[in-house]
C-alpha cells in the first residue's frame, strides 16, 4: 500500500498544475477517489484488528490523497472561473494536510506540500477579509463511538485508530452573530462581494456586479458557514 | 501576550471536584453558557485522573462556538493544591493544543483561572507557550 501510495503521489504531481487539461485532471480525480476507497477498506481492516499504527499510516495517506484531489479541483475551478469554489478547494487541501500531520508520518513531506499550497494561495488569490459566525450548540454525538459526546472519553480533533474525533449531530445549532475576524477557524468563510459607492463588486475579480438600492446599510455577500465535509473519519 | 488580573466573586459550596468549570449565566437563553472547548477540556483532565465538575446543573449547559481560531478554555477554578495541580493542568492542555494547532501559523489561547480566596481572576491571552507564566503569577502576586 505504501509503495502504491508513493508511486501515485509521484505520478500525479505532473497533473497538479494550472495548465494541464481539465478533462485529464478530472480523470485523475476519479482515479484518486477509487484509490481512497482502497485505502479506507485497508484502514477498516486495521481498525478491526485494533492495529492503530497501520490505521494511522493509512489515515495519513487518506489525507494526503484528499489534499491532492482538492488541489486538482482548485485548478479545474480556476479555469472555469469559479473562484469561490477554487478558494474552498484550496482551504480544504490545506486542512487535509494539517490533519495528515497528526499521524506523525513523513512530517517533512507534508510540510513541503503545505508550503506549496501556501505559495499558491499567495500567488493566485487576493488577501481576504474573513468572517466567523457565532453559534449556540447543545448535545451531539461522538464520531468515534457514537455515544452522547458528553458521556465518552474521546476528545475532539484527536486521532483514534485512523479517525479524527468530532462532535457531530448537534441537538441544537443556533446562529447568534457574524463577525469580521483576522483568524477564523474556517478560512473558507470570506467576504465574496463588497460595496463601494452604492456599487457591488466581486472580491476575486474586482468586477462591477450590480448597483445597490440599500441606502441605510453596507451590503456585502459572505460565506458565513460551511458544513464540515472533510473525509477524516 | 497579555495577562490581566480582575476582580471576580464566585461562591461554591461543593469541593468534591478538584477542578470546577465556571459558565456564564444567560438569562435570555435560561442556560449556562460555556465555550465549545469545555467538554474536551473536561475529558482531557478526567482521562488523566483529575476530577472535574461544573458550577451549575449539567442539564442547563449550552456551548458557544465563535469559530475564531483562538482557543477559548472555560473559566477554571482549582479547589485544592493549586501550586501542584495548576502546572499539571497547564501541561496537559498545552500538549493537547500543540497537537491541535500542528502546522498552523496561529496558536493563540485564552485561559482564565479563578482565585476564589482572593476574589480574583487571572486572564491570559496569547500563545500556548506563554501559559506557564500563570503559574509564576500565582506564586508571586497572589501570595
Ligand atoms: Zn466517543
- Grid cell of A228 as nine digits: 464540515
Give the residue among A129, A125, A88, A89 at the shortest CA–CA distance from A221.
Answer: A129
Instruction: For residue A134, give the nearest of B47, B65, B100 by CB distance.
Output: B65
Q: How far is CA A86 from the centre of its chain?
A: 11
Q: How much of chain A exceeds pLDDT 90, in percent?
A: 77
The tens digit of pLDDT for each residue in B55-94 reads: 888 889 999 998 777 899 999 998 888 888 999 999 999 9
- Average of per-residue pLDDT values in chain B: 88
pTM of the model: 0.92
The helix/strand/coil state of B51 is: coil
> Residue A188's CB: how many other CB atoms inside 10 A?
19
Question: How far, in Å, is the centroid of ligand 1 from the Cα of B118?
Answer: 38
The reply to whether residue A98 touches residue B102, judged by beta carbons under 8 angstroms, is yes
User: Which helix (H) or strand (E) covers residue A136, if one does?
Assistant: strand A130-138
Rounded distance, CA A176 to CA A213, Å?
Answer: 27
- Grid cell of A182 as nine digits: 483576522
Give the residue among B47, B3, B42 at the shortest CA–CA distance from B21.
Answer: B42
Q: Of A29-38, A43-52, A215-224, B61-70, which range is least confident? A: A215-224
- Domain boundaries in chain B? 2-141
Chain B residue with Cα closest to A174 = B64
The reply to whether residue B99 touches residue A155, judged by beta carbons under 8 angstroms, is no
Residue A169 has pLDDT above 70, yes or no: yes
Which residues in chain B are closer than 8 Å to A176, comparing Cβ atoms? Answer: 64
Assign B17 a pLDDT band (cuts: 50, 70, 90).
confident
Rounded distance, CA B114 to CA B118, Å?
Answer: 9
Residue, of A104 and A31, whose pLDDT is higher: A31
Instruction: For residue B44, give the nearest of A138, A155, A184 by CB distance.
Output: A155
Name residues whose C-beta falls within 8 Å of residue A186's C-beta, 6 or more positions apart in sequence.
Answer: A91, A132, A225, A226, B67
- Grid cell of B42 as nine digits: 473536561
The helix/strand/coil state of A129 is: coil
The tens digit of pLDDT for each residue in A178-223 reads: 888 888 888 999 999 999 888 999 999 999 999 987 777 778 888 8
The helix/strand/coil state of A107 is: helix
Q: Indicate whether this complex's ipTM tops 0.85.
A: yes
Query: pLDDT value at position B142?
Result: 62
Amino acid at each position: 500500500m505504501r509503495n502504491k501510495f508513493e508511486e501515485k503521489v509521484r505520478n500525479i504531481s505532473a497533473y497538479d498544475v494550472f495548465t494541464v487539461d481539465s478533462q485529464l485532471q478530472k480523470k485523475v480525480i476519479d482515479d484518486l477517489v477509487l484509490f481512497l476507497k482502497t485505502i479506507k477498506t485497508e484502514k477498516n481492516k486495521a481498525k478491526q484488528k485494533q492495529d492503530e499504527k497501520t490505521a494511522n499510516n493509512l489515515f495519513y495517506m487518506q489525507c494526503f490523497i484528499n489534499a491532492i484531489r482538492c488541489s486538482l479541483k482548485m485548478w479545474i475551478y480556476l479555469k472555469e472561473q469559479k473562484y469561490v469554489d477554487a478558494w474552498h478547494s484550496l482551504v480544504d487541501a490545506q486542512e487535509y494536510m494539517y490533519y495528515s500531520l497528526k499521524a506523525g508520518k513523513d512530517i517533512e513531506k507534508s510540510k513541503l506540500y503545505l508550503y506549496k499550497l501556501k505559495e499558491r494561495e499567495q500567488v493566485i488569490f487576493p488577501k481576504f477579509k474573513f468572517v466567523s459566525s457565532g453559534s449556540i450548540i447543545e448535545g451531539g454525538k461522538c464520531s468515534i463511538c457514537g455515544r452522547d459526546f458528553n458521556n465518552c472519553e474521546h476528545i475532539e480533533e484527536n486521532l483514534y485508530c485512523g479517525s479524527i474525533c468530532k462532535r457531530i449531530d448537534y441537538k441544537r445549532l443556533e446562529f447568534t452573530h457574524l463577525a469580521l475576524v483576522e483568524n477564523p477557524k474556517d478560512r473558507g468563510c470570506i467576504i465574496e462581494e463588497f460595496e463601494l459607492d452604492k456599487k457591488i463588486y466581486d472580491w476575486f475579480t474586482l468586477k462591477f456586479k450590480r448597483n445597490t438600492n440599500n441606502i441605510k446599510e453596507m451590503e456585502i455577500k459572505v460565506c458565513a458557514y460551511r458544513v464540515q465535509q472533510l473525509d477524516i473519519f | 501576550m497579555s495577562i490581566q488580573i480582575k476582580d471576580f466573586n464566585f461562591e461554591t459550596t461543593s469541593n468534591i471536584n478538584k477542578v470546577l468549570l465556571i459558565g456564564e449565566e444567560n438569562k435570555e437563553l435560561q442556560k449556562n453558557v460555556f465555550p465549545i472547548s469545555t467538554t474536551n477540556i473536561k475529558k482531557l483532565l478526567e482521562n488523566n485522573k483529575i476530577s472535574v465538575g461544573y458550577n451549575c446543573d449539567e442539564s442547563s449547559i449550552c456551548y458557544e462556538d465563535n469559530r475564531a481560531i483562538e482557543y477559548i478554555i472555560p473559566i477554571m477554578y482549582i479547589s485544592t493544591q493549586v501550586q501542584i495541580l495548576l502546572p499539571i493542568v497547564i501541561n496537559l492542555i498545552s500538549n493537547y493544543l500543540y497537537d491541535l494547532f500542528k502546522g498552523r501559523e496561529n496558536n493563540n489561547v485564552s485561559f482564565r483561572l479563578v482565585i476564589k480566596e482572593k476574589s480574583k481572576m487571572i486572564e491570559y491571552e496569547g500563545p500556548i507557550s506563554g501559559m506557564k507564566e500563570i503559574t509564576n503569577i500565582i506564586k508571586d502576586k497572589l501570595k
